[in-house]
Structure 1
Amino acid sequence: MIEKTALQDGWDLYTVTNKKGMRLEVLNFGGIITSLEVPDKDGNLENIVLGYRNLQDYQDNPNYFGALIGQVAGRIQESKFELDNETFQLEANEGKHHLHGGPEGFHQVLWEVEPFEENETNGLRLYHTSKDGEGGYPGNLTMNVTYTLTEDNKLAILYKATTDKATPVTLTNHTYFNLSGGLKRTVATQQALVASDQYTELDEELISTGRLLDTAASPFDLRSFKPLQEVFSTPHNQLRIAGAGIDHYFLFTNNEKPKAGLYDPESGRLMTIESNQPGLVLYTGNGLDNSLELKERKSEKHLGICFETQAFPAALHHDGFPDLILKPGEEYRKETIFSFTTK
Structure 2
Amino acid sequence: MTAEIFATTPEGDTVEIVTLQNGPATARVMTWGATLQDFRLDGTPHSLVLGSPVFEPYRSRMRNYGAVVGRAANRIAGGRAPLNGATVQLETNEAGRTAIHGGSDGCGYVNWSLASHSETSATFTITLADGQAGYPGNLALTATYSLDDEGALTLEITGTTDAPTFCNIAHHSYWNLDGTPTLGGHTMHIDADSYLAVDEHKIPQGGPQPVAGTRFDFRQPRAITTPQDDPKLDHNFCLRLPGTEMHPACTLRAGDLQLEIDTTEPGLQVYDGSGLNSEVPGHGGVPYGPHGGVAIEPQKWPDAPNHPDYPQITLNPGETYRQVSRFHVTRI
Normalised by the size of structure 1, how large is the TM-score?
Answer: 0.89
* Counterpart selection for 1:169 from 147, 167, 170: 167
* Residue 263 of structure 1 pairs with residue 263 of structure 2: no
RMSD (CA atoms): 1.8
Q: Deviations over 1:200-231 (max 9, x none)?
A: 111111111224211112121111221224xx
State the match for 2:7 in structure 1: 7
Q: In the aligned structure 2, how far is the partner of 1:6 from the partner of 1:184?
A: 27
Determine the structure 2 residue equivalent to 1:280.
Answer: 268
In structure 2, distance between residues paired with 1:251 and 1:94: 24
TM-fit CA distance, 1:282: 0.4
Amino acid at match of 2:308: D
Deviations 1:84-111 (A, max 9, x none): 1211111111121111111111112210
Q: 1:248 aligns with which of 200, 223, 235?
A: 235
Number of aligned residue pairs: give it. 323
Alignment of 1:8-23 (within 5 A): 8-9=8-9, 10-20=14-24, 22-23=25-26
The letter of the residue matching 1:113 is L
State the AA in 2 paired with 1:90.
L
Task: Give yes or no for contact 1:165–1:327 (8 Å, CA) kept in 2.
Answer: yes
Contact 1:198 1:214 in 2 (8 A): yes
SS at match of 1:209: coil
* Deviation per residue, 1:44-95 (Å, 9 max, x gap): 3531111124321112346511111000000110011111121111111112
Question: 2 CA distance for matches of 1:179 and 1:331?
Answer: 34
Question: After alignment, is 291-300 or 154-163 more displaced?
Answer: 291-300
Partner of residue 329, structure 2: 340
Structure 1, residues 104-140: CA drift from partner, whole Å, max 9, x if none? 11112210113333xxx71110101112111111111
1:196 maps to 192
- 2:258 touches 2:330 (CA, 8 Å); kept in 1? yes
What's the offset of the Cα at 1:269?
A: 0.6
Asked if residue 329 in structure 1 is aligned to residue 309 in structure 2, the reply is: no
3-state secondary structure, aligned to 2:303: helix
Cα distance per residue 1:135-156 (max 9 Å; x no partner) = 1111111111101111211000
> Does 2:227 match 1:233?
yes
Q: 1:290 to 1:176 in 2, by over 3 A?
A: closer
Seen in structure 2, the aligned counterparts of structure 1 residues 115 and 201 have a Cα distance that, compared at 3 Å, is same
Match 2:39 to one of 36, 40, 53: 36
Question: Counterpart of 2:114?
Answer: 113
What SS class does the counterpart of residue 7 from structure 1 fall into?
strand
Please report the TM-score for the alignment, with normalisation by the length of structure 2: 0.92
Deviation track 1:296-333 (CA, whole Å, cap 9, x = no partner) reads 12211111001110002321112321111111111111
Q: 2:189·2:221 contact (CA, 8 Å) conserved in 1?
A: yes
Structure 1: unaligned runs, 5 residues or longer:
240-244
Question: Equivalent residue for 2:208?
Answer: 212
Structure 2, unmatched stretches of 5+, are none
